[in-house]
Amino acid sequence: MRYFTRHTDLPEDARGASAAIGNFDGVHLGHHAVIDLARGASDRLGCPLGIVTFDPHPREFFAPDTPAFRLMTPRAKAHRLAKIGVDLVYALPFDAALSGLTAEGFARDVLANGLGLRHVVVGADFCFGTGRRGTAQDLEALGAAMGFGVTVANLESFATGDPVSSTRIRSALSDGQPRDAAAMLGHWHRVEGPVIHGEARGRTLNYPTANMALDGLHLPRFGVYAVLVDVLDGDHAGSYHGVASLGVRPMFGVNTANLETFLFDFSGDLYGATLSVALVEFLRPEATFDGLAALISQMDGDSARARAVLATL
């Protein structure tokens, strides 16, 4: 997959795609439905499959003080899109210039002249242009005038008949229901990023952990989870089972949320490596304990439960 952060001065072989447009936070089943329509058009037209997305998310641009809500980082989103066969990702910087384009200007300057798209797929609720005045129906008319096809996708429904949405997925994660979130995502919810230096406290407890920041991400329910871990690079690249603590570590008075993951049957240095940690099952809430011996005993129990859960997958 090829990744671009602009819509101008592209190589010719990076233009002319059939592309789905949207934020695609989480790359959930509703997004899959939209992307599959773009895939069908790319097969029919013999052109690449593309994604047009935005970074930062427009909500972050217009309301920078909004609480963190993203389900994944741009890098994690790119990895997920690559896994489902996307050829080209255009992660356009959402700034004053882009947000100031009219609906017609966006269609002309970005989609037609810049990216040279042959076909575009959007959700039925798609809005674009200054003040979000452009609708999916407006895009159909503009595409017809500017030489690219447009398909408007109905929102994908979940088993309950309700639309699958990033909002419902965030709610499931906030409730400590990662399996419900996974059912809507079509994959496990993952936290992806580099391993950072922590306080090395886990090593003294015989539970060395890989620490990861959660900056800018929606925070699932704080507590302990059974997890699947992919080490994406470095000497220890591979897949592992583990147990993770997500939260602020009240036992030690820490206030910044992070993710601490203990990999089962692993020995090695993971500092600087990129991990992808999938939340599989919520085991218990965060808690404080009457001394380190009680904490270690609880961690032993958490590990045993996590191993049992993961053995059933």
How far apart (Å, rounded) are the C-alpha atoms in residues 224 and 248? 12
- Strands 49-55 and 18-21, sheet pairing: parallel
CA torsion sign for 152, 158, 161, 163 is: negative
From residue 238, alpha-carbon distances to 1, 85, 235 in Å are 21, 21, 9
The angle at the Cα of 162, spanning 160 to 166, to the nearest 5 degrees, equals 120
53 neighbors 27 (Cβ within 8 angstroms): no
State phi, psi for 164 to the nearest 5 degrees: -75, 130
- As annotated, the active-site residues are 260
